[in-house]
Amino acid sequence: MKITEATALIRTPLIEWARPQSWCDLGSGSGTFTVALAQLLAPGSTIYAVDLDRRTLEGIPDQHDGVEIRKIVGDLQSSSLRLPPVDGILMANTLHFIQEQQALLRRLVSVADCFLIVEYERPRPNRWGPYPVGFERLRQLFSEAGVERVERLATRPSLFGGTMYSALAGRFRR
């Protein structure tokens, strides 16, 4: 996916992009969505890019468009992972790899009020998405974690078949 496509998926008027903020990108991988988020955030913002693979993180720039990108090597499924308090959390193509999705979301709601999610609308597991999170499942997961507001933002065809969607969850302006 190109950065412009990733940016289009997560852009929403429900987030106040004009003020500097801090965000975590959990499961940042090669940084496509990290850079997309940096393009939306105001200069002076900070993104914590978190991934298990140190070498992948090294390929992400240290800053983009005046947004500082700090890299953290860590396992999202480990209870020992400590994240700083942030304005928002981005998880793009991440939740479908997490077996204990509910436990992770319960921990994350103590760190942030706003969540940008990108996932696949797929009901059955496969080796690239062993724990699928269709939009209705996402709503259920957040509801069980105490977050009632979940809105679908955009959809697009997936290169791997089916549909990819983005959603915003949490407390955000309307």
Q: Using one digit for the tens of pLDDT, what is the confidence trace for 85-118?
A: 999 999 999 999 999 999 999 999 989 999 999 9
pLDDT score, position 57: 97
pLDDT score, position 171: 73
pLDDT score, position 5: 95
* HSE-up (13 A, CA, CB side) for residue 48: 20
Give the pair of three-digit tokens for residue 126.
Answer: 């496969």
Q: Using one digit for the tens of pLDDT, what is the confidence trace for 109-130?
A: 989 999 999 999 987 877 777 8
pLDDT class of 174 with cuts at 50, 70, 90: low
Instruction: Give the whole-angstrom CA distance, residue 94 versus residue 123.
Output: 16
- List CB contacts of 126: < 8 A, sequence separation 6 or more: none
**What is the C-alpha R_g of the chain?**
15
pLDDT class of 162 with cuts at 50, 70, 90: confident
pLDDT score, position 45: 98
pLDDT score, position 13: 95
Asked if the model's pLDDT at residue 4 lies above 80, the reply is: yes
- Contact by Cβ (8 Å): 128, 160: yes
Strand, coil or helix: 117: strand
Helical ranges in 92-166 per DSSP H: 101-108, 135-144
Domain that holds residue 30: 3-170
Q: Using one digit for the tens of pLDDT, what is the confidence trace for 56-83?
A: 999 999 999 999 999 999 999 888 888 9
Q: Looking at residue 84, which CATH number applies to its domain?
A: 3.40.50.150
Give the pair of three-digit tokens for residue 156.
Answer: 């697009």
Asked if the model's pLDDT at residue 172 lies above 80, the reply is: no
The tally of domains found in the chain comes to 1
Strand, coil or helix: 8: helix
- Contact by Cβ (8 Å): 85, 111: yes
pLDDT average, residue stretch 8-35: 96
